[in-house]
Amino acid sequence: MTELVIIGGGPAGMSAAVAAYDSGIRDILILERDTALGGILQQCIHNGFGLHKFGEELTGPEYAARYEKMVFERKIPYKLGTMVLDITEDKVITATNTEDGIFQIKAKAIILAMGCRERPRGALNIAGTRPAGIYTAGTAQKFVNMKGYMPGKNVVILGSGDIGLIMARRMTLEGAKVHAVCELMPYSGGLARNIEQCLNDFNIPLKLSHTVTKIHGKERLDGVTIAKVDENRKPIPETAEYIPCDTLLLSVGLIPENELSKTAKVELSGVTSGAIVDQNRQTNISGIFACGNVLHVHDLVDFVSDEAEIAGKSAAEYIKGKAENKINIPIKTDGKIRYSVPQVITEEKDITVYFRVSDVFYNVKVNVKNEKGEAVFTKRRPKVAPGEMESITLKKKQIIGSKELFMELEAVK
């Protein structure tokens, strides 16, 4: 029996481990599938990390190194090259590596920190041939930044989320020509800062309301057909345009990697594809917690670390035998607010609720009402956008007595 097993040694897993240790837990084991700790940060060699957490602008590897140092200083045990295969409802973990073979650990508490994966071409049903030269942006990033190989030299990128924008710059710096970044929506999903320093700096056109409709090329990509889309996001055939290229990078969605959560019968949200959790980041299974991108996709790793601290502290309390919570206040959202984390409140105390909106809205109020329709909280926001996670803090007195909470966006006249 290990008291705390953490699945994933990226920023979420490391931060959770450190927080659990600092709350008094010693019997911890981090299981990481890669050959080093750090998770996806290892390949995120650009800067923009750590401004909130450390007051400094760090690159991904530098941010990861800060947490690795904390893990090493505390001598928190971890296994590398170890892939978890299964987790049961009663917290038996099956994992494999070359040294131990296939082994099982029973845990008192588990923190899920597996991160997320990228949506591939097949999920979009893009018609055409299936040549080499089509990569998700993260896979291309791995080839370039970790292995030192160039996927191609004439690039089109589909998806203007941050990964797509960052790779537009990265490929350009390494000598490729990025012909266009196409974005299905009428707005970019990435930070304005990245549009500036990744596209505008290099005169890379951003084509909003555009998508790739066909892929050409027998063995290697020859080019793509792109087209403008209408208000229903359907391609307008008359606008079709052929762009010769040898590389198509896809930045079309991150999906929390919850295959293991499913084996443990953790209840998942249909909106986030991550676990449904309370303010302690505990899932519906007592003693199983979730944090980081496996719970919901974050924009800033600083917030991943914050969230993981909550999970780590809460797992520690659970291990020490903290009493189960008696109350259960679900938080519902109105659709303009796409989701909230946590989705349920199980303790009456000050709680920060994170949320994402479904579209760009200007001049809105974030309202929280109880089941009687009474307003318990309101906050004005001049602008909210899908690409930027928001948060509000509910005070204990605003929560007390409610049976259900509803979050909504209201237009301000």
Partner 1 sequence: MYDVVIIGAGVVGSLAARLLSKFSLSVCVLEKENDVAMGATKANSAIVHAGFDAKEGTLKAKLNVKGSQMMPKICAELGVDYKNNGSLVIGFSDEDKRTITELFERGQKNGVKGLEILDKAALSEKEPNISKNAVCALYAPTGAIVSPYELAIAAMGNAMDNGAELKLDFEVKSIEKEGEAFVISSDTEAVSAKYVINAAGIFADKIAKMIGDNSFEIHPRRGEYILLDSECGSLVSHTIFTTPTKMGKGILVSPTVHNNLLLGPTSEDVEDKTDKATTEQGLENVLNSTGKSVENIPRNKAITSFCGLRAVGDTGDFIINSPLVGFINLAGIESPGLSASPAIAEYALELLENQGLKITEKADFNPIRKSAHYFKNASIEEKNEIIKKDKSFGRIICRCETVTEGEILEAIRTNPKPHDLDGIKRRTRAQMGRCQGGFCSPYITEILARELDIPIEQVTKCGGKSIINIGKTKEEIQND
Partner 2 sequence: MRRNLTCIVCPMGCSIDVEIENGEVKSISGNTCPRGAEYAKNECISPVRTITSTVRCADGSVIPVKTDKPIPKDKIFECMKIINNTTPALPISAGDVIIKDVYGSNIIATGGK
Smallest distance, partner 1 to C-beta of residue 325, A: 32
* Contact between 57 and partner 2 per CB under 8 A: yes
Asked if 214 is part of the footprint of partner 1 (rule: CB under 8 A), the reply reads yes
Q: How far is the CB of 177 from partner 2 (least distance, A)?
A: 13
- DSSP element (H, E) containing 54: helix 51-54
From candidates 15, 42, 82, 283, binder to partner 2 by CB under 8 A: 42
Q: Which of 85, 82, 104, 101 is nearest to 2 (CA)?
A: 104
Q: Which of these, 31, 17, 27, 37, lies nearest to 99 by C-alpha position?
A: 31
How far are the Cα atoms of 124, 139, 174, 284 from residue 148, in angstroms, in the given order?
A: 29, 12, 10, 43
Asked if 326 touches partner 1 (CB under 8 A), the answer is no
Instruction: Look at strands 92-97 and 101-112 and give their pairing.
Output: antiparallel
42 binds, among partner 1, partner 2, none (CB under 5 to 8 A by kind): partner 2
Angstrom CA distances, 305 to 12, 68, 136, 293, 346, stand at: 6, 13, 25, 11, 22
Interface stretch with partner 2, choices 60-68, 239-247, 270-278, 279-287 (CB under 8 A): 60-68
Q: How far is the CB of 252 from partner 1 (least distance, A)?
A: 11
Across-strand partners of 377? 368
Question: Could you say which of 55, 148, 321, 373 contacts partner 1 (CB under 8 A)?
Answer: 148
Does residue number 56 form part of the binding site for partner 2 (CB under 8 A)? Answer: no
CA distance 1 to 324: 21
Name the burial class of residue 125, with classes exposed (0-12), middle (13-18) and buried (19+) by CB atoms within 10 angstroms of its CB.
exposed
Residue 386 touches which member of partner 1, partner 2, none, C-beta under 5-8 Å by kind: none
Q: Among 264, 244, 408, which residue's Cα sits nearest to residue 334?
A: 408
DSSP classification of residue 217:
-
Selection from partner 1, partner 2, none that 201 binds (CB < 5 to 8 A by kind) is partner 2
Residue 365 beta carbon to partner 2: minimum distance, rounded to whole angstroms: 21
Query: Tokens 């309101």 label which residue?
Result: 378
170 vs 315: CA distance, rounded Å: 39
Choosing among partner 1, partner 2, none, which partner's interface includes residue 48 (Cβ < 5 to 8 Å by kind)?
partner 2
Q: Which of 47, 59, 96, 352 binds partner 1 (CB under 8 A)?
A: 96
Cβ distance to partner 2 smaller for residue 68 or 118: 68
CA distances from 161 to 141, 164, 166, 209, 298 (A): 14, 5, 9, 14, 12
6, two tokens: 């953490």
User: Quick check: 225 and 116 in contact, CB under 8 A?
Assistant: no
- Which whole-number Å values give the CA distances from 97 to 80, 105, 113, 254, 381, in the listed order? 8, 13, 19, 27, 49
**Does 382 participate in binding partner 1 (rule CB under 8 A)?**
no
Does 327 participate in binding partner 2 (rule CB under 8 A)?
Answer: no
Asked whether position 146 contacts partner 2 by CB under 8 A, the answer is: yes
Cis check: omega of the bond before 120, within 30 degrees of 0 = no
For the chain, the first-to-last Cα distance in angstroms comes to 59
Rounded to 5°, the CA angle 290-110-267 comes to 50
Q: Name which of partner 2, partner 1, none residue 364 binds, using a CB cut-off of 5 to 8 Å depending on partner kind.
A: none
> Is 121 near partner 1 (CB under 8 A)?
yes
114/331 with CB nearer partner 1: 114
Instruction: By CB under 8 A, name the one of 51, 102, 375, 400 that touches partner 1.
Output: 102
Residue 251 binds which of partner 1, partner 2, none (CB < 5-8 A, kind-dependent): none
The site partner of 246 among partner 2, partner 1, none (C-beta below 5 to 8 Å per kind) is partner 1
For partner 2, which stretch binds (CB under 8 A), given 16-24, 27-35, 47-55, 90-98? Answer: 47-55
Angle at Cα 295 formed by Cα 56 and Cα 267, nearest 5°? 165
Q: Residue written as tokens 């990078």?
A: 249
Which residues is 259 bridged to in the sheet? none
Task: Kindly state whether residue 352 participates in binding partner 2, applying the rule CB under 8 A.
Answer: no
Report the residue from 10, 11, 151, 189 that binds partner 1 according to the rule CB under 8 A.
Answer: 151
| 156/300 with CB nearer partner 2 | 300
Q: For residues 27-56, which are near partner 1 according to CB under 8 A?
A: 33
Alpha helices (H) along 241-346: 259-263, 301-319
Site residues for partner 1 per CB under 8 A: 33, 81, 83, 85, 94, 96-102, 117-118, 120-123, 125, 127-133, 135-136, 138-139, 142-144, 146-154, 174-177, 213-216, 218-220, 235, 246, 259
Site residues for partner 2 per CB under 8 A: 42, 45-48, 51, 57-62, 65, 144-148, 173-174, 191-197, 201, 299-300
